[in-house]
Amino acid sequence: MKLCTFQIGSNASAIGLVVGESVIPVAEHLKSAPTTMIELISLWSKWRESLQQLATSGSAGIALHQVTLLAPVPRPGKILGIGLNYADHVEESGMEMPADQLWFAKMPTSANGPYAPVDLPKVSEALDYEAEMVFIVGQRCRHLTEQTAKQAIFGYCVGNDVSVRDWQLRTSQFTLGKSFDTHAPFGPWIVTVDEIEDPHQLGIRCFVNGKKRQDSNTNQLIFNCYQQIEHLSKVMTLEPGDVIFTGTPGGIGAATKPPSWLRNGDLVRVEIDGLNAIENPVRIEA
């Protein structure tokens, strides 16, 4: 299934099932269903069968172009990202292959919709893109093994780990440079795990103004999704709706000479096989 959070005009946000080019509003057909994505993920075992039936019922939906797709989880409890997780990105960064996983946090206020504008900050011009596969945690968990970690993933999205490089690199801690408002667009919806045969065999690409900047495959991940969950769950309790950015391949703007920073009016598109694409314009911060 493909699950989204959407809005029509100024109405409240709602959960939808994406079927073809339409969105079926869940609340119109399942009156007592959860109204937020985190709640739905938490109660997935109860609602999964009903949602599967709705998805195949032929019920009329709303055309995708008539709704605004929001971040599938609009306000995640956690947004975490792993750095240096593709070999070509390690090489272009001039760093050693990591022996351990390098993690940072992106604040929940950085969550952004799949087609919403990304801010060019008032305080920096060193704005960069990072095409990434994102996974959504599906259950509360701690101390998983790599073998048991798969069951903890609810689904996958396309993401862009937007980064403000001068803020990121001025100290040893990346969090501020990764956490500007609007700098975690992801979506366009959650593709549930049953629809993805192998998340580690998906082509991933990034385009800026139609020019390809990144082109790789998730089979190049140094630490795969299950190893990431295993590692994180040793430290913290992962919860339904937590958002995990799994790393970016080579081709970032910071690695070019001179650096090719994003500018006002640029359009950044990230696409991943089987997960669709997100596309975010860059706008000067208001």
Map out the domains of the chain with their CATH numbers: 2-69 (no CATH), 79-284 (3.90.850.10)
Percent of the chain predicted with pLDDT > 70: 100
Pair 213, 206: CB distance under 8 Å: yes
CA–CA distance, 109 with 182 (Å, rounded to integer) = 7
> Token match 């769950």: residue?
233
CA–CA distance, 192 with 28 (Å, rounded to integer) = 21
Given this model, what pLDDT does residue 66 score? 97
Task: Report the length, in residues, of the chain.
Answer: 286
Which pLDDT band holds residue 139 (cuts at 50, 70, 90)?
very high
Residues linked to residue 85 through DSSP beta bridges, in sequence order: none
Most distant CA pair in the chain: distance in Å? 56
Neighbours of 238 (CB within 10 A): 23
Residue type (1 letter), 15: I
Closest by Cα among 19, 13, 7 to 191 = 19
CA–CA distance, 37 with 33 (Å, rounded to integer) = 11
Q: How do residues 161-209 score in pLDDT, each as one tens digit? A: 999 999 999 999 999 999 999 999 999 999 999 999 999 999 999 999 9
Q: How do residues 106-123 score in pLDDT, each as one tens digit? A: 999 999 999 999 999 999
Which of the residue ranges 82-96, 136-150, 212-226 would you say has the lowest mean pLDDT? 82-96
